Structure 1
């Protein structure tokens, strides 16, 4: 993009800059003739000039409490190149640390260099670390499809495991710093986690990354994190497998989230490498090359934790190396994570816990078994939140691994010690799910806790039912109604129809929004997909009324939560708040009789004519009274559904215990 071209921003970006919701920006655009005209995009997803938007917001007093970071980011984004913007952010961080720094360490365009200088100036004014973290997060969100990062909760768990599993003092010299290695560090999530989990200790951090932009950002991240602490960091830009920059170095702990399924990892040129003490990794098993690379760098008693795809635990090509890892005691534990723990999110990834033999053979028991931990039950389902239930997952995994060197210690449900003799068969399969099963029966404590949870829920339902039972209905003259179509003509609301999206699916990121479909309504009611905002013809925002226009899934509700795209047969109604109450409208529309009258009645797949739906014709003040009751009724229904699920689980658990003869005297 030329420096003279206007920098485009979307409605969502304008909302971030002004610190308001997207609906507010849409209202400004409709109400103010002076609002800048769009310079690109489409009617559904327009784009505007950043300079014109900034000027308009300032002239209208809408930037008083907003910092300059939101205004700065679109300019970084407009640089176009992922590497250019990443290196510019890293250079800005360097100048924040050293205000007198002149000249860039990396070759940047004049535009990127100028932008780095402006970001550094802003950082010194608004907070250097906060400004860098903001720009880094936006950069990661923008390029999420091109990057694979380790989520902070997973990085923290891996660091804590490694620190807990290593044999303290083994192989260390007096006064020597604890050394950490990450040979494929990306933007430094794992190295940062090691620093944070071992806060207060003297550390030496070695990290390597072959992508120059990622390496520069990792260096900037660690510089902020280690400032003022006795921590030495060294970030190398190299391919750790082909050109190991730390060859010969020995470390206490190693953490790694290596690239998966890379066939071109150096199989031919590294065939005689001394790191392959457990065997030359097959060309199709690059992950086992990373495992041996980590082991080659560990001191005696050192520990490594590596993220691997589940196939590595069972693929036929790698069974010889897996067998050697087991026989030598290098592979100490395997943890199966819930889907969604890291990219790729649809896969149940694994953590392999590795350790070298300590100098003192009596420091830990000789390896006679392997600890296999199945933590997949901590997956998050039926919710819009991403990732697993991190807190109970972390507690469960750490609890299981505490027993690693204590053969007589009890293990939590879902963890099991498997003797090496059982694993060293023709398959050498170390998949936790094959050996670690979770007991379905709850403990007495868990059952008592479930009953304690159920009692207040049912009591609350009883109170709400009593209040609703006090409603009185008159049998007087029928109220006048009007149709949705007439309300649209009168300008009291607008009606938009959801459509099939152009791109089908998207990765999580800055420009992606959840996609709700009729199929979702027939399951758990939560959006099951993501689409880019620009490809979604209809996006509902908080306060909009959504109607499902098909008989089998007919319902209406006021949307709450983030902007959401609508698929086919879903409709968005946006009310004029001076004429209609959204909750009143949704309450009238969701009446089953209303849907039946407006439907074709041919089958359960019949469509509902949204424009024929009827709404009471009432003044706004009277609408509010109805809206309050409608909301109470909807809330009662929602709580009833949650209570039903809780009670069903309780009945099922108690029935199983009774059927097993578990009734006490």
Structure 2
């Protein structure tokens, strides 16, 4: 393993846990049980820091290094010790560009100057790359850097980037069917991303190109570090069929300083910045890119739309990820109308919340094509395809956390795109898709938000009702099985009182580890439903509103934090507020617990977690442990009682409590699903959906 470049390099408990391949709780136990564990060299009592070389030596001496531990695990803390985000990113970009084969690097974007320490780490990383693999080393460092700065750098999720590239490819195929000679001849294709960030969209485009040598990838970003990372990332991994695409990423403010002003592209893919007010409204008033009108100050996204169209060859395709307000805000209605009249806008796709940052917003994809006459068409003809995918979500099988079904989303979107222009026969229109005559949209609002035009029944009725009825039948079967078991329980209410103990006594006997939750700082929690790669954050308010998490945090950020209470499987969660008092076994861990939520980890040789949860959640237990204040009664969790029973007997009770909890959940799901079925059937019947008798 490499030696740390600097003895001042420090690591947190979470970093030690990752290196050793154990949980943070295990590292905390090592600290308590082993006097030889390295002493903190900094940090705080809550989040101490330890010298990397001391930790490395201790783990090696104690035989606690996992067999699969990689040298890269030791390398990252040294990059992190560089401190400055830009210096770290520039060093990682240098690793990528220095690892590229000759002829594949293209023109490298300049980044910030590197210190001697940073250059030393680059050399060390390149040495490791000889054994770990060049692409793997670069990907590892880039992934860790993005995780560390997830709140400052928004990236386009890989599945969404791939979908955008596939949409553009489908539109290019349509050009070939129309007889576009350049496409038919297999000429070099140029793809441009004018706000490329770390290059996700350029990479997705490259990976769909079968002949990399026929591809030019152009990018621009105003952040030199991101531009350098994008150039290295795309050129590193986008080598297909022995051909290397030409990659050129430049630095500059795209709207004010267009570094590709003289270039045109076959495809533009972009996730441009939004809600920026200082984008150059006044100084760019006479810019020739504004073919469809000068964008208002409050509509920077329409500037990006016209920038993309200006860089397309006639008939070229652009796919942009935009906020939903761009489709309806009053200030932009004249430009939207001009885009429709010219036939420049082909389709608008409303994505489900959680598809990309900001995750609480249902973002839109705009699919555009540059008209052959540069937007001077006068007749109001043609159709606009609107696709509403807001209901394309699934429930993960492990406990009902909402997640993104990317395969279903792709299927719905591509089916809708293929029907663009209203070519589909009546009755064959894909679910969630509607082709609207442009003339019908040219009213006072010029609002083409898909949800306003695609009927809910058309989007979800058939498929959703079939799935709902199937699920409803399965739930009724489960409910019948649980009923037959629970109804056979013979309870002797006159039985003599059994001895009890308190959580406080169990904590002092080390049979229970009690931890209190803490609400993460403002700005750390994302909304819009839990997404893939996110850890749910549960609050008392969530419990009061039905028990499902409404916020989440990225998994990397959760496990890099020392100030969060994160559950592990089979921990008991207790709500410490009387009006929401409850207790359950967290089978869906990990979960971040907010204030007034408590995690109880039981010793399995002493206590059964289902038995403990069942005892604790009894209403009488909560009443006797409450503070009895009028409106803000708190539960003293340590005063809650648990029956004193042998472990075998606990397991009998625990099995009954577990079935009772399943019965309660199933009843709730039957109620909710029944309401959906009633609503769906009502919509269908009121729309005349019954077949003719």
TM-score by length of 2: 0.85
Q: Which residue of 2 aligns with 1:210?
A: 222
Equivalent residues in 2 for 1:504-583, closer than 5 Å: 505-506=524-525, 514-529=536-551, 536=563, 538-583=565-610
Deviations 1:493-546 (A, max 9, x none): 24344355555744699x996532211111232333457765846444444322
Segment of structure 1 superposing worse, 149-158 or 20-29? 20-29
Secondary structure, in 3 states, of the residue corresponding to 2:456? coil
Segment of structure 1 superposing worse, 108-117 or 164-173? 164-173
User: Residue 457 of structure 1: which of 475, 479, 487 is its match?
Assistant: 475
1:563 offset after TM fit, Å? 4.6
Equivalent residues in 2 for 1:14-29, closer than 5 Å: 14-29=16-31
Segment of structure 1 superposing worse, 297-306 or 336-345? 336-345
Equivalent residues in 2 for 1:88-127, closer than 5 Å: 88-98=91-101, 107-127=113-133
Q: Which residue of 2 aligns with 1:142?
A: 148
Q: Distance in 2 between matches of 1:87 and 1:632?
A: 55
1:165 and 2:171 matched: yes
1:89 offset after TM fit, Å? 1.0
Secondary structure, in 3 states, of the residue corresponding to 2:218? strand
1:646 offset after TM fit, Å? 2.9
Conserved? CA contact 1:171–1:301, under 8 Å: no
Secondary structure, in 3 states, of the residue corresponding to 2:391? helix
1:34 and 2:48 matched: no
Structure-2 change in CA distance of 1:341 and 1:367 (3 Å): farther
TM-score by length of 1: 0.88
1:240 offset after TM fit, Å? 2.7
Structure-2 change in CA distance of 1:661 and 1:286 (3 Å): closer
Q: Which residue of 1 aligns with 2:376?
A: none
Unaligned 5+ runs, structure 2: 374-378
Deviations 1:589-635 (A, max 9, x none): 12333223433566675333322222122334443444344334333
Q: How well do the aligned residues superpose, as a CA RMSD in angstroms?
A: 3.5
Deviations 1:329-355 (A, max 9, x none): 112222222222222223232222111
Conserved? CA contact 2:265–2:312, under 8 Å: yes
Deviations 1:385-435 (A, max 9, x none): 676443322222211111113445343344333323233334333333332
Unaligned 5+ runs, structure 1: 360-364
Q: Which residue of 2 aligns with 1:277?
A: 291
1:488 and 2:489 matched: no
Q: Which residue of 2 aligns with 1:80?
A: 83
1:229 offset after TM fit, Å? 2.9
1:284 offset after TM fit, Å? 3.2
Q: Distance in 1 between matches of 2:137 and 2:460?
A: 48
1:302 offset after TM fit, Å? 0.9
Q: Which residue of 2 aligns with 1:325?
A: 339
Q: Which residue of 2 aligns with 1:219?
A: 231
Deviations 1:28-63 (A, max 9, x none): 222222222223333333332222222222222222
Structure-2 change in CA distance of 1:298 and 1:653 (3 Å): closer
Conserved? CA contact 1:379–1:388, under 8 Å: yes
Q: Which residue of 1 aligns with 2:406?
A: 390
Conserved? CA contact 2:295–2:303, under 8 Å: yes
Structure-2 change in CA distance of 1:587 and 1:122 (3 Å): farther
Equivalent residues in 2 for 1:302-313, closer than 5 Å: 302-313=316-327
1:443 offset after TM fit, Å? 5.4
Q: Which residue of 2 aligns with 1:253?
A: 267
Secondary structure, in 3 states, of the residue corresponding to 2:601? strand
Equivalent residues in 2 for 1:583-662, closer than 5 Å: 583-599=610-626, 606-654=633-681, 662=690
Q: Distance in 2 between matches of 1:635 and 1:379?
A: 24
Q: Distance in 1 between matches of 2:430 and 2:513?
A: 56
Q: Which residue of 2 aligns with 1:362?
A: none
